[in-house]
Structure 1
Amino acid sequence: MTSPEPFPTRRNPALLILVLSLAPAIGLGIGRFAYSLVLPDMRDSLQWTYSAAGFMNTVNAAGYLAGALVAAGLGRRFGLIAVIQGGTLACILSLIICGVTADFALLSIARLVTGFGAAVSFVAGGALAATIGLAYPERSSYLLSLFYAGPGMGILLSGLIAPFVLQGFGPGSWWIVWLVLGLVSVVIGLPLLRPRVDASDDTSEIEEAPLALRPIWIYLIAYFMFGAGYIAYMTFMIAYVRDGGGSALAQSAFWCLIGVSSFASPWLWRSVLARGQSGRAMAIILGTNAVGAAMPLLGHSPVVLGISAAIFGVAFFAVVAATTAFVRFNYPRAAWSKAIAAVTIVFGIGQTLGPIAVGAITDATGSLTSALVVSAATLAIGAAMSMFQKPISSR
């Protein structure tokens, strides 16, 4: 008698990928982005500067970069499923650590581990989702988008929890938020963390293929710009909403709208991703992302902020889906893990430099508006650059 399997068979590919999407829901949607929700209270309670607050996301991004560097190798050695499960478990443990210490060094280490775990599970999950989609070519773009909608679920959950925990327990209750989010991650991660899985969905035994990056250098720079640009919005927007007089309800609504909007990505961008052989798909989606990031520059009106969150959310994770679609169209299956890792590394470098740089700019100018200007401009430049990327086969 065999042990029960945590994942459905390939006859249910959408359900399988939805279970896989729990990894980025925990590692990114909660582990990375919930920091924005507790940042104002942590900054006030721990007397941090914006540079110190930005550093906490920089060290998280550094962990993400390190994870991206080793993810492909770990996947070949241990199998993609094992890497996804191990990375997710590391994220959950680090969330709980954030709730039991106020020490800057220990918090930094915990954020580093969160980033590392998120990256290895994200790269492995993306490669596995792309492989599953290969068996359903007519639905592959839709199936791939389901995986990248996962972080939206984490954003939605954290948006429904964090602002009201902070409001209920009062100033200085940021650590309670981390503990609650850690426990929530344990619950939603159970289907993913059960020990046994059908190894036929694993690609760890595929012989590795060589990877040529020179033909996509423009694409890589554009994706670097995305990594550097999006992070300012996702790091400081809750502080911007709060500084504009936004209540806990307003902060929750704003954050949840980002998460809910991301659920529309698989349907809204399906046809765009299906034509992702060149950089045009990323240019369209990243350009939309830039518009969303620029909207708060028009003011603190709830309508403006709501439109901003909706536009940003619907495009945000679709940018990442576009890169995986691009890899799938332009590289052989045996190179997918390495190619996804390569673009993730470039993205990781961008999001490592972004928070500390934008935090320093904000400290210097004394205004969060400057952070949003930098964010929107960087995203727009990335969108413009990606237009020049041609399919590799056309070169």
Structure 2
Amino acid sequence: MNASTARAPWLPIWAGLCASLVGIGLARFAYTPLVPALIDAHWFASSAVVYLGAANLAGYLIGALIGRLLASRWSSATVLRAMMVLVSLAFLACAWPLSVGWFFGWRLLSGVAGGVIMVLVASAILPHVQASRRGLASGAIFLGIGLGIAGAASLVPWLLGKGLQQTWLGLAALSLLLTASSWAGWPQQYEQHEQPVAQAPQQAAVSPAVLLLFGQYALMATALVAPMMFLVDYVSRGLGAGTHAGAVIWGLYGLGAIAGPVLYGLLADHLGARAGIRLVLLVQLAALAVLLGSHDLRLLGAAALLIGSFPPGIVPLALARVHHLVDGHARQNATWSRATVSFASFQAIAGYGYSALFAATGGHYAALFAVAAGAVVLALLMDLLVKERQAMSLVANSSAR
């Protein structure tokens, strides 16, 4: 642990929280409550608005693929600062809808920044945290995602009252402020140990237990995209409840997102990552069933609260699972990078898949939520079909080799 970290142990956590808030919480989730406004203001056609939302998911995949490569050339701290600046510039550029291509490009770049941040932020900070506290610490880092969702739910409607362009400018200003406040918080010493990226052992990525995690994480990504992209539009336009009801539902989603990372991190510390994942999947399945079976706004609000905890909450759970299955920082970082790529790949595919399904069914929201529920069921079945004892035995054998 370096001197600056010892003097102010909260600074790296604050830096990580700001990075996840800017790069994912705002860059991705602030777009959702903007969808009805973008359509109503005729900035783009409704079909284009949906696909532009998926551009961030495609960029996230690119960022997950190149994040460790960037960190091997520059320090993680330098790359993370640069990605936060890039998100701020993307918000600024989106204030002027010059063309679909212009908007798509900047939304894509904001997604790239989010993917890079997701790959690097934990490995830059967690080595400076006691092992028994890493679940809670990772929950605090990724709390930024939840704060971004909740902030978008409250800030975006207020900014929209001043105008759509002003909303993008306000998001840019907030991102720049958070970037500046976290600039000096990144720990530096551990960068020396991150150089041999290419030499990280490969066997952990092909063990059955790790492959199970990759598969489950990919299916969880598939499941979370449908509510993330369409919940507000479903309530506002699909149910005819109006933009105010949509904002309230998204606010509840945001409250769940604030609770999710710390709650799921504590689950990982006290219940175990695998048991925590199983419990969370069951809860998510019940919440998606409510979306499919009820139009009662009170029940939908409760479901939104539970569903909102999922996108930011599963990150510390999956990260804890990686740390349980794989030994050594280099191997853990390499495995986490591949897990993030798996998540990002299916998230991007799901984003465009849901958009295509929405267009093909003429705006049939139930089909989208049914696909999401099916992905959760598959993730649960994968967990039940693979025995923990078998998986861990094979991990031990591969480590011995």
Q: TM-score, normalised by structure 1?
A: 0.88
Structure 2 contact 84–175 (Cα < 8 Å) conserved: no
Residue 77 (structure 1) aligns with: 73
Counterpart mapping for 1:215-364 below 5 A: 215=207, 216-243=210-237, 244-274=239-269, 279-331=274-326, 332-364=328-360
Structure 2 contact 12–186 (Cα < 8 Å) conserved: no
Greater mean deviation of Cα atoms: 256-265 or 315-324 = 256-265
**What is the distance in 1 between the residues matched to 2:382 and 2:7?**
40
Q: Deviations over 1:222-273 (max 9, x none)?
A: 2111122211110111111211244444333322222222332355334531
Structure 2 contact 12–187 (Cα < 8 Å) conserved: no
Give how far 1:288 is off: 2.4
Structure 1 contact 57–352 (Cα < 8 Å) conserved: no
Structure 1 contact 80–203 (Cα < 8 Å) conserved: no
**What is the distance in 1 between the residues matched to 2:289 and 2:44?**
29
Residue 90 (structure 2) aligns with: 94
**What is the distance in 1 between the residues matched to 2:141 and 2:323?**
15
**What is the distance in 2 between the residues matched to 1:217 and 1:64?**
21
Counterpart mapping for 1:149-228 below 5 A: 149-166=143-160, 168-169=161-162, 173-194=163-184, 197-202=186-191, 204-205=193-194, 207-208=196-197, 209-212=200-203, 213-215=205-207, 216-228=210-222
Structure 2 contact 260–310 (Cα < 8 Å) conserved: yes
**What is the distance in 1 between the residues matched to 2:334 and 2:387?**
20
Residue 131 (structure 2) aligns with: 137
Give how far 1:47 is off: 4.9
Give how far 1:201 is off: 4.6
Instruction: Say if 2:14 is the partner of 1:18.
Output: yes
Residue 388 (structure 2) aligns with: 390
Paired residue type of 2:393: S
**What is the distance in 2 between the residues matched to 1:75 and 1:276?**
33
How many positions carry a matched residue from both structures? Answer: 382
Paired residue type of 2:144: G
Compared CA separation, residues 128 and 197, structure 1 to 2 (3 A) = closer
Give how far 1:23 is off: 0.7
Compared CA separation, residues 47 and 105, structure 1 to 2 (3 A) = closer
Paired residue type of 1:58: A
Compared CA separation, residues 261 and 330, structure 1 to 2 (3 A) = same
Structure 1 contact 67–116 (Cα < 8 Å) conserved: yes
Compared CA separation, residues 250 and 202, structure 1 to 2 (3 A) = farther
**What is the distance in 1 between the residues matched to 2:224 and 2:252?**
16
Compared CA separation, residues 90 and 140, structure 1 to 2 (3 A) = same
Compared CA separation, residues 328 and 372, structure 1 to 2 (3 A) = same
Greater mean deviation of Cα atoms: 343-352 or 10-19 = 10-19
SS in 2 for 1:210: coil
Compared CA separation, residues 63 and 220, structure 1 to 2 (3 A) = same
Indicate the structure with greater helix content: 2
Root-mean-square deviation over aligned CA pairs? 2.6
Give how far 1:349 is off: 0.9
Residue 121 (structure 1) aligns with: 117
Compared CA separation, residues 296 and 102, structure 1 to 2 (3 A) = farther
Paired residue type of 1:138: S
Compared CA separation, residues 82 and 350, structure 1 to 2 (3 A) = same
**What is the distance in 1 between the residues matched to 2:49 and 2:383?**
31
Compared CA separation, residues 237 and 14, structure 1 to 2 (3 A) = same
Give how far 1:152 is off: 0.8
Give how far 1:362 is off: 1.6
Greater mean deviation of Cα atoms: 207-216 or 20-29 = 207-216
Percent identical: 22
**What is the distance in 2 between the residues matched to 1:109 and 1:300?**
37
Paired residue type of 2:127: T
SS in 2 for 1:139: helix
**What is the distance in 1 between the residues matched to 2:190 and 2:295?**
47
SS in 2 for 1:101: coil
Structure 2 contact 132–269 (Cα < 8 Å) conserved: no
Q: Deviations over 1:48-71 (max 9, x none)?
A: 244x33322332222111111111
Compared CA separation, residues 286 and 164, structure 1 to 2 (3 A) = same
Greater mean deviation of Cα atoms: 257-266 or 60-69 = 257-266
Q: What residue ranges of structure 1 are gaps of 5+ in the alignment? A: none
Greater mean deviation of Cα atoms: 83-92 or 215-224 = 215-224
Q: What residue ranges of structure 2 are gaps of 5+ in the alignment? A: 395-401
**What is the distance in 2 between the residues matched to 1:313 and 1:49?**
24
Structure 1 contact 277–329 (Cα < 8 Å) conserved: no
State which of 333, 350, 371 in structure 2 corresponds to 1:374.
Answer: 371
Paired residue type of 1:273: A
Q: Deviations over 1:69-121 (max 9, x none)?
A: 11112222212111211111111111111111241001110011001011112
Greater mean deviation of Cα atoms: 338-347 or 288-297 = 288-297
Paired residue type of 2:365: L
Greater mean deviation of Cα atoms: 237-246 or 102-111 = 237-246
Give how far 1:379 is off: 2.6
